[in-house]
Amino acid sequence: MGVRFRKSIKLAPGIRMNFSGSGIGWTIGPRGASVGIGKRGAHLNTGIPGTGLSNRTKLSGGVKGAATTPGPKRTVAIKVIVDDDGNISFRDSEGTLVSQTVIDAAKRQQGDKIKGLIQEKCDEINAQIDALAEIHLHTPRPVAPAIIPGRFSSEMPRAPVAKKAGFFFRLFKWYVARIERENLRIHDAHNAAMEEWEAQRTAFQVEQQGRERYIARVLAGEQEAVAQYFEESLQDIVWPRETEVDYDLHNDGTMFLNVDLPEIEDMPTKTASAPARGYRLTVKDMSATAVQKLYMRHIHSIGFRMIGEVFAVSPAIKTVILSAYSKRPSKTTGQVTDEYLYSVRVARAQWENINFDNLAQIDVIDALARFDLRRNMTKTGLFKKIEPFLDSAAAASSERDET
């Protein structure tokens, strides 16, 4: 009879790399400069603060026949916004689109920053795809956790140096008494600091001893400790998509994993490119086949990583049986059911043959085929339902779901 725990790991699907809430924003021109925009065109007004020295440089032409009287100068703060579809807009502090004259001035003065923002958005869009297919690259070696003694880093409070009255001031009792009171205050403060330091050191030692006992229980294969350590390991992983795992640890050293996979509808569907010249971001839709292949790599990468996390918990775990499913509507009833996409049984001795120094060269889809694998999948990533390896508790749960 195993100990069964259930853990749902839910993480946000990425952070938008926008600045100032909706885009990168700055005031055109360096400190001591402003852009004057009037009927005679745009001018860059520069000056050295505190000196009274200034310079006026023409940025763009004005309107023919316009009055020669210079218009009022104003400083324009611009936010550049790049959205997920590759659209780029220039807005003022109130969110209003600015004129082409201001846009041209912004590109001249802050072209590198604008291009940098466009490249960041490009990298963000593409990074979501890379992250989904590369979870397995951080799979740990099948080496059990070590008991590493910690070190209490807080330094012991230094003993204070007692103050002494000089030869002349010793003649004044009131002054000697004041020195003695000051020394007593310093002494009491040091004693209090020492008590606090001793309490912190004792608490640290107690925590260390507790941690060492906990790791020893994990290494010994104690079910509750192993399950807790595995749960902590999963929580430390940054999953790009929501993932939910049921796991059963049996007395014979077998760990059953039942993984609720992300759905193919959760996969990103766009790629981006930023040309070296110009201020453009090209966003294209991925083909249906490309999305299927990305999903195929993603769900196998999840399985590979979880198997590795289990074997890294304790040498007492000898076998991992992982079954991964997707929630799909039944073609006969329309009810949403668990449709298993693959199920794999891995022995520790087999897993230890993997070269963990060269994970980047592994085809994670083919890698699972080395083991006892149940999978019905096309080369393009289309899956058909399979019957998984299930322990008795999971099988009973599956039967209840079907009824």
Are residues 100 and 241 both part of a single domain?
A: no
Owning domain of residue 49: 24-133
Are residues 126 and 247 both part of a single domain?
A: no
pTM for this structure? 0.69
Are residues 127 and 239 both part of a single domain?
A: no
Query: Does a structural domain hold residue 168?
Result: no
User: 370: part of which helix (H) or strand (E)?
Assistant: none
Are residues 240 and 127 both part of a single domain?
A: no
Number of domains in the chain: 2
Residue 122: predicted pLDDT: 92
Query: Does a structural domain hold residue 172?
Result: no
How large is the C-alpha radius of gyration of the chain? 33
Total residue length of the chain: 403
Query: Does a structural domain hold residue 16?
Result: no
Residue 14: predicted pLDDT: 35
Query: Does a structural domain hold residue 320?
Result: yes
Are residues 252 and 125 both part of a single domain?
A: no
Are residues 232 and 378 both part of a single domain?
A: yes
Q: Got the DSSP string for 299-354? A: HHHHHHHHHHHHHTT-TT--EEEEEEEEEEE-TTT--EEEEEEEEEEEEHHHHTTS
Rounded to the nearest 5 degrees, what angle is found at the Cα of 115, between the Cα atoms of 271 and 100?
110
Asked which of 133, 150, 179 is the last residue of a domain, the reply is 133
Query: Does a structural domain hold residue 141?
Result: no
Residue 72: predicted pLDDT: 52
Query: Does a structural domain hold residue 293?
Result: yes
Query: Does a structural domain hold residue 189?
Result: no
Phi then psi dihedrals of residue 219, to 5 deg: -65, -30
Asked which of 110, 133, 156 is the last residue of a domain, the reply is 133
Task: Give the span between the Cα atoms of 283 and 125, in whole angstroms.
Answer: 9
Are residues 260 and 396 both part of a single domain?
A: yes
Phi then psi dihedrals of residue 375, to 5 deg: -160, 135
Mean pLDDT per block of 10 residues along the chain (403 residues) reads 41 30 35 44 46 46 48 66 88 86 86 89 89 91 82 88 75 80 90 93 90 89 87 83 85 90 91 89 93 95 94 93 89 84 96 94 94 95 91 46 45
Q: Say how many Å lie between the first and final Cα of the chain, rounded.
A: 25
Query: Does a structural domain hold residue 170?
Result: no
Residue 396: predicted pLDDT: 40
126: CB partners within 8 A, 6+ apart = 271, 272
Task: Give the span between the Cα atoms of 269 and 132, in whole angstroms.
Answer: 12
Asked which of 83, 117, 133 is the last residue of a domain, the reply is 133
Q: Got the DSSP string for 106-163? A: HHHHHHHHHHHHHHHHHHHHHHHHHHHH-GGGGPPPS-PPP-------PPPPPPPPPP
